[in-house]
Amino acid sequence: MRVLIVLTSHDQLGNTGRKTGFWLEELAAPYYVFKDSGADITLASPKGGQPPLDPKSNEPGFQTDHTRRFEADPVANTQLAQTSRLDSVSQEDFDTVFYPGGHGPLWDIAEDRDSIKLIESFLAADKPVALVCHAPGALRHVKTPDGRPLVEGKRVTGFTNSEEEGVGLTDVVPFLVEDELRAKGGKFERGEDWVAFIVTDGLLTTGQNPASSSAAAKTLLEKVAK
């Protein structure tokens, strides 16, 4: 099985002067779900090379067994330092694609034409797609073959308004994931704040928050196996 993981290249948290990027648990947990199943993993980002890590995601309170394993894994860290440019990858070379979150994707991946086309091409090829936390915001411009918003009428989830409020960034982010998915016609569902919750609708799987990363990755494997 060949899995593509798409990470952000954006490291500025709006106008706050603080850094952002991808959330480590949302990469590390799926990475090992895929790796331990024997999958061949490729990492990509809009700019290629080393993507920015949200420094907050590596603070002691947010570290997990997955993040510690990743930090100590030289192969994983070499892969991370050498991500492929997003415009150089093609769905033909993969069985599925996974998008970790962190706040970074709201600025770059959500507007990235290569990402939009990539997601559309995976779905057109009947291949499953999963996105967690803020990454479902990358669906905002993705369309169906007839030009409708992809999420229209679909069950979806993502980082909730109350979770964004909880981290104090409601007025910093370019858009709120929950509001945007609802505005595009998505049937937004949610669990409790910070508790694992995923939704699957056809080929599309979305996870609400970092705690949902493993479950989303495992669901993706099940879909590929079918």
How many whole angstroms separate alpha carbon 53 and alpha carbon 19?
A: 9
pTM over 0.75: yes
pLDDT recorded at residue 45: 98
pLDDT higher than threshold 90 for residue 33: yes
User: How much is the mean pLDDT over the chain?
Assistant: 97
* pLDDT the model gives residue 152: 98
Check pLDDT > 90 for residue 9: yes
Map out the domains of the chain as residue ranges: 2-225
Could you identify the residue written with the tokens 């090992």?
Answer: 32
| Model confidence at 213: pLDDT above 90 | yes
**Strand 96-99 vs strand 84-85: parallel, antiparallel, or unpaired?**
unpaired
Between CA 157 and CA 215 the distance in angstroms is: 13
The pLDDT of residue 226? 85
Considering the domain 2-225 in this protein, what is its CATH number?
A: 3.40.50.880
- CB within 8 A of 130, min separation 6: which ones? 96, 97, 98, 99, 204, 205, 206, 207, 216, 217, 219, 220
